[in-house]
Amino acid sequence: DAKTTQPTSMDCAEGRAANLPCNHSTISGNEYVYWYRQIHSQGPQYIIHGLKNNETNEMASLIITEDRKSSTLILPHATLRDTAVYYCIVRVAGVNNAGNMLTFGGGTRLMVKP
């Protein structure tokens, strides 16, 4: 799987949009971009994923650049409960064999402040 680069930490004011960047310059054509978050010591929570089109769900939006070398996760109205470590992961999806794991890097520690 391609490697990702994320800022170590970010702050965001409560109620404002949180924009979390991720670089994945070596991404392959069949690799998806996934975002997970881990709140304190809980299990990671799936947020969103995409291949090349922008995606939106009830939690967040995912903006992927046209060349697919980077992406941004957007939390439109951050709350204190969004404070967590956010992981950007690229992987081939739909493959029913070895190598189908998620490879977690260091992630971005997002601190939402009142």
Partner 1 sequence: NAGVMQNPRHLVRRRGQEARLRCSPMKGHSHVYWYRQLPEEGLKFMVYLQKENIIDESGMPKERFSAEFPKEGPSILRIQQVVRGDSAAYFCASSPLPYEQYFGPGTRLTVT
Smallest gap, in angstroms, from Cβ of residue 46 to partner 1? Answer: 5
If the CB atoms of residues 14 and 38 are measured against partner 1, the closer one turns out to be 38
Collapsing DSSP to helix, strand or coil, 38 comes out as strand
CA distances from 44 to 12, 53, 84, 86, 97 (A): 21, 24, 10, 9, 22
Smallest gap, in angstroms, from Cβ of residue 50 to partner 1? Answer: 11
Half-sphere exposure of 51 (CA within 13 A, CB side): 6
Using CB under 8 A, list all residues that contact partner 1. 34, 38, 41-46, 49, 93-107
Smallest gap, in angstroms, from Cβ of residue 63 to partner 1? Answer: 19
If the CB atoms of residues 3 and 77 are measured against partner 1, the closer one turns out to be 3
Half-sphere exposure of 54 (CA within 13 A, CB side): 9
If the CB atoms of residues 29 and 114 are measured against partner 1, the closer one turns out to be 29
Smallest gap, in angstroms, from Cβ of residue 40 to partner 1? Answer: 11
Give the span between the Cα atoms of 82 and 21, in whole angstroms.
16
If the CB atoms of residues 35 and 112 are measured against partner 1, the closer one turns out to be 35
